[in-house]
Structure 1
């Protein structure tokens, strides 16, 4: 099959807000911008360039509803340091009923979209 995901679309009443957060959080580049549409892509020449789906932020009239039906799981080298960095960019820790004994942190970007920061991989879990 020759099918691939081109973009993950994220609706917002103001696409500039989540786009600015994710641009800084991921270190991605803005490759297209209009008032109602912003595209982020991985850094040119990076291992993700041309492989990872673009992030497409689209202007919609309605505000975000309850919990996301789709969210990102991010794998950092250091979970606690990354949570602190993302909070500095405007993310907040949130509860979606995950309980106290989980190994990840649930956060929301400045537009309210939830995502998870997972624990770092152990050496025995690393590829190769």
Structure 2
């Protein structure tokens, strides 16, 4: 017997705002809002994203993060930063590069060039 990942859920103090940001960045659609306490984003050809309102998110560095792919790393990082993402670090070498960013709630995620 095995399990199948079905959804990636993120705790936040403003589920609607963070879900809206991620829907805009991924081309996804908010498919459920549940009075702003649990908001679901469907993303084409990707796992479902969910954002759960909590009073006090777990402090410190998140232990689980999203890795997203793009066809143009530099252009996508610039677009995400303009949309409100924060820069953590540019990483890698001439063989493979990626950039670690934060979403507007401070959750880290990585962007890499599609092979």
What TM-score, normalized by structure 2, do the two folds share?
Answer: 0.85
Unpaired runs of 5+ residues, structure 1, are 122-128
Contact 1:10–1:56 under 8 Å retained in 2 = yes
Runs of at least 5 residues in structure 2 that lack an aligned partner in the other structure: none
Question: Are 2:21 and 1:21 equivalent residues in the alignment?
Answer: yes
Q: How does 1:1-128 map to 2 (within 5 A)?
A: 1=1, 3-33=3-33, 34-43=35-44, 48=45, 52-95=46-89, 101=93, 103-121=97-115
Give me the TM-score of the superposition, normalised by structure 1: 0.77
Question: How far apart, CA to CA, are the structure 1 residues paired with 2:48 and 2:21?
Answer: 15
- In the aligned structure 2, how far is the partner of 1:75 from the partner of 1:99? 15
Number of aligned residue pairs: 112
Q: 1:54 and 1:90 mapped to 2: Cα distance?
A: 22
Question: 1:115, 1:25 → 2: CA distance?
Answer: 12
Write the distance in 1 (CA, Å) between the matches of 2:91 and 2:112. 15
* Structure having the larger proportion of residues in strand: 2
| Larger CA Rg, structure 1 vs 2 | 1
